[in-house]
Amino acid sequence: MIKKAIGAGILAGLLLFAAYQHFYKADDPSAIQASTTSAGIDIGLMAPPFTLKNLAGEKVDLNEYKGRKIMINFWATWCPPCKEEMPAMEKFYKSHSEEVEILAINLDPQNDVKTFAEKNKLSFPILLDESGTTQQTYQIISIPTTFIIDENGVILRKHIGSMSYEQMEELLK
């Protein structure tokens, strides 16, 4: 008799627990399912979306690049380490453009970015953060800062400072 009562109590407890999980946890925003990835700037999170104009004035949306690896590089024309890494970035783009897209987000569009790009023979897309919103969203404090985004839009790596060609190749792996 005692065994049946204990068994019934355990069964009732399991049913209550299951009901609680079903009805209350589903509405709890802190109960994030494993298949859902939040947006943010940390490794393992979805890269925050943005739409910026390129040097030709055309709008470019990050979501257009889903299905491709992306290297997002924040830089400025006045920044010595940024200028230093541009030749390596161009070489990297030419040798890896089939497997990764570079989006170089310029943070000083009031300067003549187009002339800078032409003078340095840069062929990768340069986007202009005219309002500074993307810089704030990605919490860019130091430049250059580079993010590697996977084919699903998830941040794989973040690098602060200039990079050599070899470092760019290593980040891609």
Q: DSSP secondary structure string, 89-158? A: HHHHHHHHTTTEEEEEEES-TTS-HHHHHHHTT--S-EEE-SSSHHHHHTT--SSSEEEEE-TTSBEEEE
pLDDT category at 139 given cuts 50, 70, 90 is very high
42 falls within a domain: no
In angstroms, the CA 32 to CA 118 distance is 47
Residues 22 and 56 occupy one common structural domain = no
Question: Per mean pLDDT, which range of 29-38, 60-69, 158-167 is the poorest?
Answer: 29-38
110 falls within a domain: yes
* CATH number (domain holding residue 118): 3.40.30.10
Residue 29 has pLDDT above 50, yes or no: no
In angstroms, the CA 115 to CA 131 distance is 21
Residue 16 has pLDDT above 60, yes or no: no
Residue 119 has pLDDT above 60, yes or no: yes
Residues 78 and 115 occupy one common structural domain = yes
37 falls within a domain: no
Residues 76 and 104 occupy one common structural domain = yes
Residues 70 and 119 occupy one common structural domain = yes
Average pLDDT of the residues in 24-39:
43
Question: Per mean pLDDT, which range of 1-10, 78-87, 157-166 is the poorest?
Answer: 1-10
Domain membership of residue 68 as a residue range: 51-172
Question: Per mean pLDDT, which range of 104-108, 125-129, 167-171 is the poorest?
Answer: 167-171
Q: Which residues does 63 contact at the CB level (< 8 Å), separation at least 6? A: 49, 153
Residues 62 and 27 occupy one common structural domain = no
> How high does pLDDT run on average in the chain?
85
Q: What is the pLDDT of residue 30?
A: 34
Residue 122 identity: L
In angstroms, the CA 47 to CA 172 distance is 16
78 falls within a domain: yes
Residues 96 and 140 occupy one common structural domain = yes
Question: What domain count does the chain have?
Answer: 2
